[in-house]
Amino acid sequence: MFSASFPSLLDNEHILEIPSTSTAPEQKFSTAGASERALINQLCLDAFLCMLGEEFSVTPKVYPNNAALASIWEFVNGTAISFGSARLVLIPTLAMDSDELRVPQEWIDIPEWVGDYYLAVQVNPDEGWVRVYGHTNHQNIKTLGVYNPSDRTYSLETEDLIQDLNVLWLTTQYYPEVTRASISELPPLPQAQAENLLQRLGADVKFPRLEIPFQLWGALLAHGGWRQRLYELRQGLTQQTSVLQWLTDGISNFATQLGWSTREFITAPTSMRSREASTIGLSRQVLIAGDAYELRIFSKGNASELVWRFELRSFNSEGLIPEGFKLRLLTEDLQTFTNNEDVATAPLELLYVEVMLESGEGIVWEVEPTPENYEREILRF
């Protein structure tokens, strides 16, 4: 439940202070425009997280997670945060005379990205404040907004926005409403086509989001692993999700942000005559419904044989995996394959899937129920 009081940091002008600790993102961006976009989104996000954290009992969370922000801001304006059961999408602008809310199509028509409420926010970096000049919901944007094909945005006049932000707090707390319009799923993107698009858009293309049809672009962006790879290509970075490289050279900074670390595992004997052995693998904590679990990845036998074991265990050594949980592996383009998942039909010590991979092959892991801050990533072997 939310606090019954409204945020005292919001005056009649709905102005929030940018925290003095707020700085530009550490990551690099391919253009000056992308760098500026990342800066104003970071300042806007910091101001909101500070206010919401101080004024409400519910801790807001960045969607999908903090590590994904650079790969979003490289291409698209806007930041989503989960606030209780609602998702807010903050749309910042430096314009002080804006008479509309202009939302990139990605936040409206990519099913995984859709928000409940969209907030129009003016950002004044020099004076250290942001101002909310209106908000609306997804359904209103789809029904009342004007679609602008030239820049792929939906726009809504200021007069069609709700000016008083306290109405939003009241609505989310006491008067739940239908916020989202129905939208179509994006068609699946075959891996070969995705690879071609990554190479094409990862080159010197000024506006990649306008370069290809939206259905292709939306599908590429919605896949966290492909979006991250496109971001890397535009920065001239080497592949940051190579498991073998992590195990030999150390975890990359990006992998650390996602929560990965290396650790030693004791593996069970493979036959009556063999003994327990130790191996170095990857570990990542995942939270599901407030409980902590550990995802483990390690090589079965000789790493050159490329047989890998994925395990899900309770983070508590005495804990069990609840009935109904699933551990699933998918190909890079999210296709299933034989023996790709394990299901807990009763409380179990662990779930596991073993898979033989070719050198350079990518794999995507999933867990049901979905962990907090989860986004698909491609692990390359």
Mean pLDDT of 162-174: 86
Q: Coil, strand, or helix at residue 149? A: coil
Q: What is the pLDDT of residue 360?
A: 87
Is the same domain home to 284 and 138? no
Q: Which domain holds residue 29?
A: 15-174
180 within some domain: no
> Is the four-CA dihedral 39, 40, 43, 49 of positive or negative sign?
negative
Give residue 164's pLDDT.
87
Q: Tokens 């190579």 correspond to what residue?
A: 242
- pLDDT, tens digit, 9 for 90 and up, residues 118-137: 999 999 999 999 999 999 99
| 271 — pLDDT class (breaks 50, 70, 90) | low
Position 226 scores a pLDDT of 96
**Do 116 and 206 share a structural domain?**
no
pLDDT tier at 7 (50, 70, 90 boundaries)?
Answer: very low
Query: What global pTM score does this model have?
Result: 0.90
User: Residue 2: is its pLDDT beyond 50?
Assistant: no
Residue 55 shares a structural domain with residue 146: yes
Q: Is residue 286 helix, strand or coil?
A: strand
In this structure, the answer to whether residues 49 and 167 fall within a common structural domain is: yes
Structure tokens at 230: 């496109």
Q: Which residue blocks in 176-292 are alpha helix, DSSP H? A: 191-201, 214-222, 224-235, 243-249, 253-258
Residue 280 lies in a domain: yes
Task: Report how far residue 271's alpha carbon sits from residue 78's, in angstroms, rounded to the nearest whole number.
Answer: 55
Which segments of 217-361 are extended strands (E)? 260-267, 277-288, 291-299, 307-314, 326-331, 341-343, 350-356
Query: C-alpha angle with apex 45: 41 to 11, nearest 5 degrees?
Result: 115
Same domain, 148 and 224: no
| Residue 293 maps to a domain | yes
Do residue 371 and residue 316 come from a single domain?
yes
> Based on the domain organization, do 22 and 162 belong to the same domain?
yes
Q: Are residues 170 and 195 in the same domain?
A: no
| Sequence-distant (≥ 6) Cβ neighbours of residue 308 within 8 angstroms | 243, 297, 298, 299, 300, 354, 355, 356, 357, 381
- Tell whether 179 is covered by a domain: no
Q: Are residues 67 and 170 in the same domain?
A: yes
Q: Is residue 2 part of a domain?
A: no
pLDDT at 347 over 80: yes
What is the average per-residue pLDDT within 50-77? 90
Residue 223 lies in a domain: yes
User: Counting Cβ atoms within 10 Å, is residue 331 exposed (0-12), middle (13-18) or buried (19+)?
Assistant: middle
Hey, is 68 helix, strand or coil?
A: helix
105, 170: one domain: yes
Q: What integer pLDDT is reported at residue 81 of this predicted model?
A: 96
CA torsion, ordered 16, 141, 376, 172, to nearest 10 deg: 50
> Over the chain, what is the mean pLDDT?
90
Q: How many domains does the chain have?
A: 3
Domain annotation covers residue 85: yes
Q: Identify which of 44, 34, 23 has the alpha carbon closest to the alpha carbon of residue 73.
A: 34
Of the pLDDT bands very low, low, confident and very high (cuts 50, 70, 90), residue 249 is confident
In this structure, the answer to whether residues 198 and 272 fall within a common structural domain is no
| Helix, coil or strand: residue 6 | coil
pLDDT at 85 over 70: yes
Q: How far apart are CA 355 and CA 339, in angstroms?
A: 8
Q: Are residues 21 and 148 in the same domain?
A: yes
Beta bridge partner(s), residue 342? 327
pLDDT, average across residues 8-35: 83
